[in-house]
Structure formats: C-alpha cells, structure tokens
Amino acid sequence: MGSVVLKTLSILLGVFFVLVGVLKITPFISRELHRDLRKEFVKYAKVFPLSKTLEFKVSPKWYRRVIGGFEVALGIVLALIPHARLRQIANGILTAMMALAIYSHWMVNDKFERLAPTLVFFFMLACRLIVDYQVRRQDRLLKLKKLNMQNEPKILSTKNGKSE
C-alpha cells in the first residue's frame, strides 16, 4: 500500500512541477500566467534571503528561469527516474524550494490565496518524504526478519523420538 501511495505521489508531484516550471520559463502553456509570474518574480527577487547581507542583487529574470529550470528537472526525476535515492534528493530540494517560496510570499505580504498552493505542495512534498521513509523502514525490517529466520537453527520435529 505504501509503495502505491509513494509512486502516485511521486508521479503527480513530478508532473505538477514540470508544468509549473515550464510555465515559469516560457509562455508555451499560458501567456497570461507567464506574464503574471514575471511580475511576481520582480517582487520575490527583492526579498531573496541573504541578498542584503551578502550585498548582491538577484535578477528577477534569471531567478525565475533558474527556479523554473530546477522545477522541470527535479519534476522529471520525481516522476520518471526509478532510482529511489535520486527521487529522495529531488524531493528534498523541491521541499527547500517550497520553503523559499513560502518565505518570499510572506515577505512581500501576498494574500493567503497566493500563498495557499505553495503551502499545499510543501506539505505534499513533506508527506512524500515521510511515506518514503516509512516504506524504506518497513522494507528493512522485513529483510531483517527474513535474515533472522534464516539464521535461526531449524527445529526438527520429532515423531516417536525420531527425526524426520
């Protein structure tokens, strides 16, 4: 059951991030949404963490493109790559990116309607990490159980004092 949930979450989240990433990079899906994202990233670039401390300015255009590129690449890994460790790394990076997005929305005083989808996907990514951990833990316990059963001395049943 857990692995079905994990695979489903991985595919759905991966497809979502590919679509959102493409939307940030190009107006191919929707010109209106792309234009809106371009305007929003101007605000988000101004509140990028550590930009004032390290005295550098983030280009809104490149910030949007880099975030979109990461979302596309990591979404592909999450949806299509069968290697569990790579999916786990992609999930972790996307979770950190969602935390950055939550911070950006908060700092520019976006309305909750604008922040809510980010929160939802942050928690979905966190849930995917938790389910992945539980599935891997359960698999390890089953392997240990099988190993212990193989290493235990076999008790021979006796019938009338004779071994079978």
In this prediction, residues 12-19 reach a mean pLDDT of 95
User: Which segment of 73-77, 107-111, 137-141 scores lowest on mean pLDDT?
Assistant: 137-141
Contact partners, residue 158, CB within 8 Å, separation at least 6: 164
For residues 14 and 76, is the Cβ–Cβ distance under 8 A?
A: yes
Contact partners, residue 13, CB within 8 Å, separation at least 6: 75, 78, 79, 91, 94, 121, 124, 125, 128
Q: Identify the pLDDT of residue 61.
A: 93
Contact partners, residue 134, CB within 8 Å, separation at least 6: 2
pLDDT of 158 above 80: no
User: Measuring CA to CA, how many Å separate 20 from each of 13, 127, 158?
Assistant: 10, 20, 67
Q: Identify the pLDDT of residue 63.
A: 92
Report d(CA 85, CA 131) in Å as an integer.
14
Strands (E), the chain: 158-159, 162-163
Average pLDDT of the chain, as a whole number: 88
Token pair, residue 129, equals: 């990490």
pLDDT tens-place string over residues 45-100 = 999 887 877 888 889 999 999 999 999 999 999 999 988 899 999 999 999 999 99
pLDDT of 31 above 60: yes
Q: Please, what's the largest Cα pairwise distance for the chain?
A: 88
DSSP assignment of 16-54 equals HHHHHHHHHH-TTS-HHHHHHHHHHHHHHHHT-TTTTTT
Name the band, by pLDDT with cuts 50, 70 and 90, for residue 135: confident
Three-state SS for 162?
strand
In this prediction, residues 115-138 reach a mean pLDDT of 92
List the domain boundaries for the chain.
Answer: 2-150
